[in-house]
Structures are given as C-alpha cells and as structure tokens.
Structure 1
C-alpha cells in the first residue's frame, strides 16, 4: 500500500503543478465557464484576481509539500487536507456557475485522491 500512496502523491502533486505552472495561460476543456486562463476562470467565478494568486500559491506550496512528504514524515496530513479543502472549493465554484459536471471531474478526482492519501 505504501507504493500506491507514493504514486498517488506524485500523480496529484504533478497534476496540480502542471495546471498552475505550465497550463495556467492555456485554454483547456476543464476551465470554468468560457475562460481561457486561470485568472479569467477566477473572474468567471466572481472572485477577485488576488484570490487566484493566493489559491495558486497555496496549491503549488501544498503540492510541493505532498511530494516532500514521501521522504519527510509528519507533513502528509497537512498537505493532503489542505489540498482537499482547496479542491472542494474548486468543485463548488464549478457547480456555482452551472458548469457541466465533466468540468469539475479533475477537481473531484484529485479531492478523492487527497482524502484517500490522508486516510491511508
């Protein structure tokens, strides 16, 4: 089970780092509303741009913490639960603006994986 958890940590962290560092200015089918970038997506949600930057810093930091937790014990819970809280917010925002359910699928999947990591 230990190797499964390590794999899940890497999958979640690398996926979130990809979204926030590589894909942030690219249009994807997962973006909320008709947004082309992450900043536009937060505007679609009715949130100020500062919230986008705060969420981005938190998601990147917690993703790096999740990777570090492979070697450093005691930080896994903080990283997994912190990301789960932020991902819950992502799902809620998609539902709030009436996005099709498939747009919230990645956030819901990573939320589930974070909870799994936390529980095991």
Structure 2
C-alpha cells in the first residue's frame, strides 16, 4: 500500500507542477470558459492576477512538499490537505461559471487523490 501512496504523491505533485510551471501559458481543453492561459482562466473565474500568483505559489509549494513527503512523511498529510483545499476551490470555480463537468475533471480527480493520500 505504501508504494501506491508514493505513486499517488508523485502523480499529484508532478501534475500540479506541470500545470503551473510548464503548461501555464498553453491552451488546454480543461481551461475554464474560453481561457487560453492560466492567467486568463483566473480572469474568467473573476479572480485577479495577484490571486493567480498567490494560488500558484501555494500549489507549487504544496506539490513540492508532497513529493518531499516521500522522504519526510510528516509533510504528507498537511501537503495533501492543503492541495485538497485549493483543488476544491478549482472545482467550485468551474461550477461558478457553468463550465461543462468535463472541464472540472482534472481538479476533481487530483482532489480525490489528495484525499486518499491524506487519509491513508
């Protein structure tokens, strides 16, 4: 079971880092509304540029901590819960703007993985 949780930590951590550090300026089918970039997505959600940077800082930090938790287990639960809270916000924002359900799938999936990580 421990190896499965470690695999989930890697999947969640790398996925978050990919979205925020590599794919942030690229259009994807998962972006809210008709946004082409992460910053545009925050604007579609009615959030400021500063909020994008704040959320991005916390998501990247928590993703790194979740990966570090492989070696420092005390970090696992706080990092997973922190990401779960932020991912819950992502899901809520997709519902707020009436996005099709499929657009909130990545956030919902990663939220579920974070909860599994936190509780096991």
Q: Flag whether TM exceeds 0.5 (same fold).
A: yes
Task: Give the unaligned 5+ runs of structure 1.
Answer: none
RMSD (Å), alpha carbons: 0.4
Equivalent position of 2:80 in the other structure: 80
Relative to the length of structure 2, the TM-score reads 0.99
What is the aligned partner in structure 2 of residue 28 from structure 1?
28
1:96 and 1:83 map into 2 onto residues whose CA distance is 20
Separation of aligned partners in 2, 1:117 and 1:98: 29
Q: 1:73 deviation in Å?
A: 2.2
Q: Which residue of 2 aligns with 1:11?
A: 11
Please give the alpha-carbon distance, in whole angstroms, between the structure 1 residues aligned to 2:106 and 2:13.
Answer: 13
1:41 aligns with 2:47: no
Query: Cα deviations across residues 31-64 of structure 1 (Å, max 9, x unaligned)?
Result: 0000000000000000111000000000000000
Instruction: Give the distance between the partners of 2:19 and 2:108, measured in 1 at CA.
Output: 15
CA distance in 2, matches of 1:67, 1:73: 10
Q: Residues of 2 paired with 1:19 and 1:34: CA distance?
A: 17
1:55 aligns with 55
- Give 5+ residue unaligned stretches, structure 2: none
Distance of 2:95 and 2:2 partners within structure 1:
34
- In the alignment, the residues of structure 1 paired with residue 7 and residue 89 of structure 2 have an alpha-carbon distance, to the nearest angstrom, of 24
Aligned residue for 1:101? Answer: 101
Aligned with 1:36: secondary structure? coil
SS for the counterpart of 1:74 is helix
- Structure 1 runs of 4+ off > 6 angstroms? none
**1:74 Cα offset (Å):** 0.8
- Tell me the number of residue pairs that the alignment of Structure 1 and Structure 2 aligns: 120
